[in-house]
A = this chain, B = another copy of it.
Amino acid sequence: MSLEPISLGEFEQMVLLAVLCAGHEADAYGVNVHAELQARTKRRVARGAVYMTLDRLEKKGLLSSYLSVPTPERGGRAKRCYRVTKPALDALRASRRALLNLWDGVRTPGI
């Protein structure tokens, strides 16, 4: 029963945000989230890394998931869809705050 929000790793943070992003247009699931992540961070991300992290985040109670019904398209199997939980939002806010506070303290041209 920690009073502080759970602290997030860098990648965890990004995955959570990607779930939120992807979740606006449709259900957020592996492929989805992976794409969003690559697009927004401009860097190569291994699919496996995303699934690993989604999994860990769910175990920590920062995500919840359910299986969708398969869509009737070639190869369209059931997707595992994710929602971010309240504690996750708290953790995200805290991380953001912390980073913004640090950035605010930096007076270096071009940073």
Which A residues lie at the B interface, using CB under 8 A? 4, 7-10, 13-14, 17-18, 20-21, 24, 36-37, 40-43, 89, 92-93, 95-99, 101-103, 105-108, 110-111
Contacts and interface: CB of A to CB of B under 8 A. Distances in A.
20 contacts: A4-B43, A9-B9, A10-B10, A14-B99, A17-B106, A18-B102, A20-B105, A20-B108, A20-B111, A21-B102, A36-B105, A37-B102, A40-B98, A40-B101, A40-B105, A42-B97, A42-B98, A89-B110, A92-B111, A96-B99
- This protein's copies in its complex: 2
Nearest to A5: B43
A7 B105 contact: no
